[in-house]
Amino acid sequence: MNMCSSLSEALNKAKTTHNYWLSFLFFLFLVFLFRFAGLSDRPMHGDEANQAVRTGQLLEQGVYHYDPADHHGPVLYYAAIPFCRATTSRFAETTEYNFRLVPVVFSLLTLLLIAGCYRRDKTGLFRSPFTAWIAVVVVAVSPAMNYYSRFFIQESMFVTFLTGILVSAIHYVRAISSREKLLWAGGVGVFTGLAVSTKETVVLSLAAALFAGLATLATRGLKTFRETWSWRDACVVICCAGFVDVLFYSSFFTYPQGVYDELFSTVKTYMTRATAVPEHHHPWNFYLQFLFGWQYGRGPVWREINYWFLLPLVIAVVTPVVECLRLNRQDETLYARLMRARWTLFVVLYTLILTALYACIPYKTPWCILSFLFGYLVLVARGFEYVIEFLIPTRSTLLFTLATRIAIVLVVVACCLGIRHNCLRSKDACFKYAADIRNPYVYAHTGRDALDLVAAIERAAKEKAGQGMYDVPIAIVSPPSDYWPLPFYLRKFNAVGYWSTVDEIPPAFKPHLMIISASMGDQASRIMGKEAQSNFFGIRPGTLLLFFERKQ
């Protein structure tokens, strides 16, 4: 009888787990559909185009060399190759989908990893799969997370790797066997290596994690720390991280100079960039506005932490500090709760320290918010869990049972309203305001007028040469910072030259079309002739280009 009961219980548990993962995968599919929809509609940002051109060189030539001056780590380029080769081996035949699908897929991996922060023994970050579900949904509907998951830049995959480090660390701490500890230590090392090989700002995340970890360990005691850590595992972490890092920066051991540049050139470059690029300098509260309230003119108000999420966030920040100081580790019934409190405290400290580090750096761009926004969103879910945990134990009488149920329903409703608010803002960010300055995440973005310029170039080239339109000579005369993303949109043309001034154009080069900075427009007649027709196009706010077409 007992055997039948145990078997029935095991089957029910397996069925519940099966249904959980089916519903989770279905949700991921819905998120994919949202982030996939209209993926090519928004004009390519200059940074996206720059990354795509660099990927195109790797695609066609099979060669990549790390450049610490103008580009981030190599992982993005190598990750994009399978997405490109799925349809073509030529850069000219790629589309926005080939590149933007990369961040979409990695953003889904992030959601999958969040579920891994829950452990069945309840010693992970979350007490139940339900709370992990809340965290997944809260992150999935974030306007910033959605907007930049459709951006071909490093941020989405960077968050994926940072999440992977957290998940691996959670499972490492509670691993029982030596083999299991070795496996999760390797996971920490691999994800760390991938993060380091993705973006140089990883040093800020690692510094925040180090200080947060030390502060959290102070609530546990050194003895407990020594029980869960060994020199062998530390060596595994360092070796795995180092191997992955060298693998990518050396272009799979074909360019050792890349490793040297990473170690000795990157710091100087980014120290200069952080303090000597005034056009990207912003006040200390630049990111806080995106978190709690930002508005341009009479446009909509944007906030990642809306009113429904604010109280749970405050609860999640305060409660783990109290629990870590109050709970006794020797009480086994409270041990799982104490572990959850410590992991929550780690996320709190990591998020606040990283926010402070980014606030202190003058150089700020909106997409940098993702690395610490993730922490705030996870803490919102943890805050809802704390509220529910507080309410459930009061079920002692019928009156309290009814009051508790009503309170829990109100908490769930508040959570749903907060999720709904961010869903609507995500829709606005990704579609209605995708390239609109009223969107806080639109930053130095290409305007839709740039697509009209590309259309005018293609029309003029076709009128000139018909089927041979892609051989028409085109001159781009502008500072490099002004003409992006044109190199991506003109990738099919075979005779495009780029110069900073008209004087640099070789005499032998006779362009039929010229795109030139408006400030140098009066010099175009020397090359194109006085009869050339011209038109203005605003490629981005504050940047005007003139389009000249030779008529003789």
pLDDT > 80? residue 303: yes
Tens of pLDDT, residues 279-296: 778 899 999 999 999 988
Helix (H, G, I), strand (E, B) or coil at 95: coil
**Total-model pTM:** 0.91
Question: What pLDDT does 8 receive?
Answer: 54
Cα dist from 61 to 89, 249, 501, whole Å: 10, 17, 29
Question: What pLDDT does 100 receive?
Answer: 96
**What's the pLDDT band for 270 if we cut at 50, 70, 90?**
low
Q: Exposed, middle or buried, 288 (CB in 10 Å: 0-12/13-18/19+)?
A: middle
**What's the pLDDT band for 365 if we cut at 50, 70, 90?**
very high
Tens of pLDDT, residues 187-217: 999 999 999 999 988 999 999 999 999 888 8
Question: What pLDDT does 220 receive?
Answer: 65
Residues 458/464/467/469 CA torsion (nearest 10 deg): -40
Distance CA 533, CA 529 (A): 9
Q: What is the DSSP letter of 513?
A: E
Distance CA 246, CA 189 (A): 13
**Pick from 136, 135, 163, 174: which is nearest to 385 by CA?**
135
Distance CA 294, CA 438 (A): 9
Question: What pLDDT does 522 receive?
Answer: 81
Q: What is the mean pLDDT of residues 440-457?
A: 91
Contacts of 150 (CB under 8 A, 6+ apart): 35, 39, 42, 100, 103, 104, 430
Query: What is the CB neighbour count within 10 angstroms for residue 470?
Result: 18
Question: What pLDDT does 143 receive?
Answer: 97
Mean pLDDT highest for which of 16-30, 223-237, 315-329, 458-472? Answer: 458-472
Q: Which string of b and e fits 220-229 if b means at least 16 CB within 10 Å?
A: beeeeeeeee
Which of 397 and 152 is assigned the larger pLDDT?
Answer: 152
| Position 230, amino acid | S
Distance CA 188, CA 165 (A): 5
User: Does the CA dihedral 15-18-24-27 come out positive or negative?
Assistant: negative
Which of 334 and 228 is assigned the larger pLDDT?
Answer: 334
**What's the pLDDT band for 376 if we cut at 50, 70, 90?**
very high
Strands laid side by side in the 496-499 sheet:
496-499, 474-477, 513-517, 543-549, 533-540
Tens of pLDDT, residues 499-526: 988 888 888 888 889 998 888 878 877 7
Tens of pLDDT, residues 99-143: 999 999 999 999 999 999 998 888 889 988 888 999 999 999 999
